[in-house]
Structures are given as C-alpha cells and as structure tokens.
Amino acid sequence: MDSLINIKSVNKNYCLARETEGIAAWCKQLIKPQYETFQALNSIDFTVQKGAAVGFIGPNGAGKSSLIKILCGIQKPSSGSVRVLGYDPSLREKEFLNQIGVVFGHKTSLWWDLPVITSFDTYREIYSIKDNDYRERLAELTEALNLSKVLHKPVRNLSLGERVKCELTLNLLHSPKLIFLDEPTVGLDVTSKYEIRKYLNYKRKVDDLSVFLTSHDLGDIESCCDDAIIIDKGKIRFDGSMNELSANFKANVKLTVSAQDATQSEARLLVFKKAIKKFQNISILNDGSNQTTYLIPKNYLGSVFDMFQGGVYDLEVSPLDFESNVVNLFKTWSGE
C-alpha cells in the first residue's frame, strides 16, 4: 500500500517565557527575557497508509493538536522528517493544499456575518472547482448532513452542530484525498454526531477518503477508525489496529462488589478491600459506600471467587467499555 503519512523522529519544542515576581524581576525579564523549553512531541514515529482512518487519542496536553498542525503545515517540527502525500507540509505548496482538508472543531473557516452559501461559493473559486462538480458535491453534502435549511443563514445564527457540519462540508467540497479532523464533534448532539460519522464512513467507502481524527469522544474513534494511535506526554504509547487495541483491553474485566446485607454494606466492603489487596494489578474504578467496582485481570476471577463464598457478597462481572479502558490507561500512565 502507498504511504500517505510518514513521520520519523519528530520533536516539537515550545519556548515559554519564565514567570517573574516583583517589579524588578519583571523589568529584567522585559529587557533580557529568559525562556524555558517545553517539549510537546518527543521522537514521534509512525506511518499511515492510503485509505486508512486513524484515530489519534490522548489526554489534554498530550500533543495531539501540535501534531495535527505540523501535518497540515501550520507549524514546523523542531526536528525530524514529515512527509504527507509525498510533500513537506511546512512548504505549503499549492498541490499539497489542494489534496487536504482540515477541520478544527473549536475554530471556524466560515465568514461569520455572511450566509453559509457565500463561504461555499468563495471556496469554489479558491479551489477552482468545476461548476458541475460543485453542484453535485454540495447537493450530496447538503442531503447527507441535513443542511438545506441553513445554507442561506448567516454563520453567526447557526447552532454549534450546524456550524461544524458546514465546516466539514466546506473542507470536502474540493474532494480532498486526506482530511484532518481535530475534535470535530465537541459539544454536538447525538444526531449531528451520527450524521457526521455516517458520511465520513460513506466517503471512505466510495472515494477512498483517508481520515486522521483526534477526539475526546471515543465513540467517534470506534465508529470511524480502523487504526489507533495513543499519545501521552508527547510520546506514542500505542500504534496499531483497533482490533489489536480491543484485544489488549479484553484481558481485564469490571468486577462490581456489593454486600447482600445493606445495613452492613460499608463494613463488608472494607473487609473485601483489605482481602483483595493480596492481588496485584487491580485498581478501583468506583468506590461507593454501598458498592465498589474494580478493574481486574480476567485470570484473577477464579481466585477471587474462591476467597469469598457463603453468600455474603454479590459479585457481578462485566466487560469494560472502550472508553473506560482508555481512561484507565491514562490514569495508569499519569503515575509514571
């Protein structure tokens, strides 16, 4: 398969002015400023193949937006090699920009005080889209994303969901080969999310559109992506398929423990907590006065059940959903 994105040993550092206290220190910093270096990305390496849909996952401050900006040419890496569609993004060549789309969920590329259709018409001229292609693509996007009632509204009068769908439409009108989506569904209602996910999957199928998606809504990742990259503190923690990631998660299950006697619930749960400490790699997901939920390796279940027999406890075992598994990973790494 053709390599769509190729990143080797990429680092990104930011220089931050040192904080000062007192007027004398402030004046000194003003005349001769001193800086501290913050490393947002640390030796990033990965490859994305043509036609792939990659979910880029990480907590706030992990380096996701910095990498997106490097991939689309808004920023340059401090060091390392970046190739996207065979181009160096930092050069911002016209041939490269014509083949990508970029949607930042917290920013807008639409003309704020003008009707939505004005922004679409402007992009048609910027990208030299043929009239027939423009009409066909706009009609398809308008129907798929339910935009017929908003095309002639000023952008400032749109709801958040309507604006984000218009942003996506704007960046798909020129039929890019690759689209970058940075938190595209933040704050959206369930219907808007469903429409966006459905259309992205449709475009991947019929036009071989490649998608690079960052989102804190892991439903977006599960619905649209075949592969996942997890980043934390500027470093890649996982790079593989969603199936591989899910298989890793299946090693753990959720164990919910409650006492059958409600009047002695808190005391009984305390006894259970002390006893279960003999097992390693067990963490508490939710600690309540009447019920405690643990993340526990599946192969520990038999030993745990053998310890507690006689009808004193209710033990419920259930699989952990994808989002909870990822959150638990972040908690584990935060202690490193």
pLDDT tens digits in sequence order for the chain, 336 residues long: 468 999 999 999 998 888 888 888 888 888 888 888 889 999 999 999 998 999 998 888 888 889 999 999 999 999 999 999 999 999 999 999 999 999 987 788 899 999 999 999 999 999 999 999 999 999 999 999 999 999 999 999 998 889 989 999 999 999 999 999 988 887 788 888 889 999 999 999 999 999 999 887 778 888 899 999 999 889 998 899 988 887 777 777 888 888 777 676 777 777 777 778 777 777 777 787 778 888 888 888 888 777 766 556 777 888 777 667 777 777 666 655
pLDDT for residue 120: 96
pLDDT for residue 308: 67
pLDDT for residue 111: 92
303 located within any domain: yes
For residues 238 and 55, give the distance between their C-alpha atoms in angstroms, rounded to a whole number: 11
Of 247, 265, 281, which one is at a domain's C-terminal end? 247
36 located within any domain: no
Cα dihedral angle (208, 8, 99, 74), rounded to 10 degrees? Answer: 140
Helix/strand/coil (H/E/C) assignment for every residue in the chain: CCEEEEEEEEEEEEEEECCCCCHHHHHHHHHCCCEEEEEEEEEEEEEEECCCEEEEECCCCCCHHHHHHHHCCCCCCCEEEEEECCECHHHCCHHHHCCEEEEECCCCCCCCCCEHHHHHHHHHHHCCCCHHHHHHHHHHHHHHCCCCCCCCCEHHHCCHHHHHHHHHHHHHCCCCCEEEEECCCCCCCHHHHHHHHHHHHHHHHHHCCEEEEECCCHHHHHHHCCEEEEEECCEEEEEEEHHHHHHHHCCEEEEEEEECCHHHHHHHHHHHHHHHCCCCCCEEEEECCCEEEEEEEHHHHHHHHHHCCCCCEEEEEEECCHHHHHHHHHHHHHCC
Contacts of 321 (CB under 8 A, 6+ apart): none
**Both 127 and 148 in a single domain?**
yes
48 located within any domain: yes
**pTM for this model (two decimals):** 0.78
322 located within any domain: yes
pLDDT in tens, 247-267: 777 777 888 888 777 676 777
The residues with which 16 forms a beta bridge, in sequence order, are: 36
**Both 243 and 255 in a single domain?**
no
pLDDT for residue 1: 47
Residue 302 structure tokens: 């038999």
**Both 240 and 255 in a single domain?**
no
Q: What is the CATH number of the domain that holds 272?
A: 3.30.70
18 located within any domain: no
Chain centre to alpha carbon of residue 90: 23
**Both 211 and 321 in a single domain?**
no
187 conformational bin, left if phi > 0, alpha if psi -120 to 50, beta if neither = left
Of 247, 270, 286, which one is at a domain's C-terminal end? 247
**Both 176 and 307 in a single domain?**
no
- Report how many domains make up the chain: 2
Of 247, 280, 307, which one is at a domain's C-terminal end? 247
**Both 120 and 268 in a single domain?**
no
pLDDT for residue 336: 55
30 located within any domain: no
pLDDT for residue 26: 82
What b-and-e string marks burial along 249-285, b requiring 16 or more CB atoms within 10 Å of the CB?
Answer: beebbbbebbbeeeeebeebbeebeeebeeeeebeeb
**Both 66 and 116 in a single domain?**
yes
37 located within any domain: no
**Both 178 and 255 in a single domain?**
no
**Both 55 and 174 in a single domain?**
yes
**Both 243 and 258 in a single domain?**
no
First CA to last CA distance, the chain: 37
21 located within any domain: no
Structural domain span for residue 300: 251-334
**Both 190 and 136 in a single domain?**
yes
Contacts of 52 (CB under 8 A, 6+ apart): 4, 210, 211, 226, 227
**Both 236 and 323 in a single domain?**
no
pLDDT in tens, 311-327: 567 778 887 776 677 77
For residues 234 and 182, give the distance between their C-alpha atoms in angstroms, rounded to a whole number: 17
pLDDT for residue 152: 94
Q: What is the CATH number of the domain that holds 196?
A: 3.40.50.300
